[in-house]
């Protein structure tokens, strides 16, 4: 399983962006980026990237211009997408819309979902609140642990 490490600041920035969307009753997505050369786990999250997106209360999607800008940014900065993190208005789960509009599509890709537009999420309780999913070889999003020694993310500093 893919394991990531991120800082408290990374979590705080992620939560702030998702909450700002929630204040407008919109889901939001951010992408956690890391060095393209990273192969050892846990892979470090070095950037929180907020793409231009089309949003509503129950979905997000990236228009083609946003995807092109993302690819340009990744190439120029020599980064790769480590995970997508988004919010839901209610409980945290991977919905059919999430499956359809997922930005990351490779086997082992991570998609984390925070409930209630991250309203009650803090860096300290992020792992408890996030529902984490990994894309399987059968192209299905499978629930995986978020925190702890066997989880998909660990927090450093």
CATH for 146: 3.40.140.10
Domain that holds residue 102: 4-156
**Statement: residue 75 has pLDDT above 70:** yes
Q: Give the SS3 label for residue 89.
A: coil
For residues 131 and 85, what is the distance between their CA atoms, to the nearest angstrom? 10
pLDDT for 143 equals: 92
**Cross-strand bridge partners of residue 29:** 86
> Is residue 117 very low, low, confident or very high in pLDDT (cuts 50, 70, 90)?
very high
> Is residue 148 very low, low, confident or very high in pLDDT (cuts 50, 70, 90)?
low
Tell me how many domains the chain contains: 1
């Amino acid at each position: 399983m893919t394991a990531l490490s991120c800082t408290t600041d990374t979590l705080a920035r992620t939560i702030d962006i998702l909450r700002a969307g929630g204040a407008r009753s919109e889901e939001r997505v951010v992408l956690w980026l890391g060095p393209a050369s990273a192969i050892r786990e846990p892979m470090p999250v070095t950037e929180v990237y907020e793409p231009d997106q089309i949003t509503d209360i129950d979905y997000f999607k990236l228009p083609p211009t946003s995807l092109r800008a993302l690819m340009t940014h990744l190439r120029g900065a020599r980064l790769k997408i480590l995970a997508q993190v988004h919010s839901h208005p209610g409980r945290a789960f991977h919905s059919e819309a999430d499956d359809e509009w997922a930005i990351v599509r490779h086997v082992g890709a991570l998609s984390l979902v925070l409930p209630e537009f991250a309203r009650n999420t803090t860096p300290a309780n992020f792992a408890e609140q996030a529902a984490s999913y990994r894309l399987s070889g059968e192209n299905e999003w499978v629930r995986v642990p978020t925190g702890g020694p066997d989880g998909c993310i660990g927090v450093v500093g």
